[in-house]
A and B are shown apart, each in its own frame.
Chain A
Amino acid sequence: MSAIGFDSCFYARLDEFSRSLNHVLLAADTPTFASDDDWRQTLELVQTLAAQNTASLAASSVAASLTGRMGEKAFWPAVANALIARKLDSTTKKELSALAWSLDDERTAVLARMRHA
């Protein structure tokens, strides 16, 4: 009766958010690279991090796992606004890139948990 059931589901959620965010980062220069779903998912995560929206269970569980990893929260509302406008400046890209690496760290951690549960 290990925790793998929870973690394997969490891994799948993390993977979805990570893929979408990577596509959104690429879409800053090549707009066709991100689908509407990619923008929506990334916005959902960022809004959850900005504590503007906690309606999505998937986004809130992923955002909760990043607590402590992401530090300062003040810039998330600005990032959310940039995502809504689908215009990413260099500062926004930098924050989103840090978020992408945090998701990568969390994926590594959840894999380790699943293998040593």
Chain B
Amino acid sequence: MLDKYLQSAASQLIERASGLKGKLPRPPRQEFERLATQCCDGIDRAIRELAALRDNPAWKKPENASVRLIEFRRIASNVDRLENEAVAPIVRSSKDEGAMVRLLYRMSNEIIYPIELPTVSMLSQNYFFIRTDFKLMCIPLMETQFLLHLPDVYHELSHPLFRTEHDPRTKPWLDAFLLAKALVYDHLSKQIAAAESSRTPDAIRLFLHLALENWTCRWMEEIFCDLFGLFSVGPAFAWAHLHLHAERGRTAFQLPHRRSSHPADAARMTALLDGLLLIGEMQVASEIESRWRSLLAVADQTEPADFQRYYPDKILKQSVEAAYGGFIKIGCRPWPQPTDDTVRKTLNDAWRNFWNSPDDFVAWERATATALLK
């Protein structure tokens, strides 16, 4: 059965994969050159693998049927990803991507971003995110016409740094990250050992184990990405975090759970406020903290008694210091600078105007965002 199935299914998938190349724009668009090349390479590889799977006698042996099916599923999944996550954003792109690429280039120049920039797609259906394997940053369609969430671009720019290897341009940043991970690992391991040898409730023990898993797996990277954003664009990043939580956040004091991708918003804000103090933004840090507390009060959110066990302030502070050291050592220029960096200054002006001139803000933002993207 499988042999007959694969004769047609593999042939059809080969046809589909090669058809994807035909969808790529002609003449090629400069902003998608790297991604389009990566797509063509991926398509060629998938076609080679499918042809072998369909035709090679070794794959056709009945005893290899199971692994042959797994291999077919793997290749089909890769073709599916190429189509939906890489070729489709290129095909459906508009002039908006070009404008955003130019803005990203200016952002990266201002902070002296250490590695090659990702490609941009304006078709995100899921806020800002980045596909690190395709090096594709996805941004919601309308986001470039507004300024308040744009600081989150700097957070996304940090994710690819963690995917680099053997690269002196990013090594100090990754060293700082590993140091922070080791600090939290040591701290929570000791907490777990103490909990195991005492009458600590089972729920707390479980949360401690989950916290350890989450911190070492994903949370510290997210905290470092936040801090990269903060050191890049200053207070605007912390304001954007407050904005994101107000609009879309759930429990600010979320306790650890399995496969959690991000630390609790309250812990992220603690790290950001520490970071603002570190870069000398005491006054605005106090203002943000005050508004953050008001927001939590309105939403009736209070810190659970054991929250600090899983998000220790001391470790967060040490992580902030480590991240700042790493940021400086990779040659990035932190906020604030004596020069007038247009993009990051504009993003901070936006937040000042948002609070100080609410009646005029929308018109001001429209004009300023248009000018920024020119």
Contacts and interface: CB of A to CB of B under 8 A. Distances in A.
B244 interface: yes
A101 interface: yes
Interface string B104-138: 00000000000000000000001111111110000
B interface, size bucket: 35 or more
A58 B132 CA distance: 15
Contacts of A9: 132-133, 163
Given A1-B152, A29-B61, A117-B261, A104 B70 contact: yes
A4 B121 CA distance: 14
A6 B221 contact: yes
B71 interface: yes
A117 B74 contact: no
Contacts of A97: 66-67
B344 interface: no
B59 A18 contact: no
Interface string B155-167: 1100110010000
B94 interface: no
A107 B262 contact: no
9 contacts: A1-B129, A1-B244, A3-B218, A3-B261, A8-B130, A9-B132, A100-B66, A104-B73, A113-B259
Q: What 9 pairs between A and B have smallest CB-CB spacing?
A: A3-B261, A5-B159, A30-B58, A2-B129, A12-B133, A4-B129, A8-B131, A25-B67, A9-B132
Interface of B: 58-59, 61, 63-64, 66-67, 70-71, 73-74, 77-78, 81, 126-134, 152, 155-156, 159-160, 163, 217-218, 221-222, 225, 244, 259, 261-262
Interface of A: 1-6, 8-9, 11-12, 15, 18-19, 22, 25-26, 29-30, 33, 61, 64, 97, 100-101, 104, 107-108, 111, 113, 117
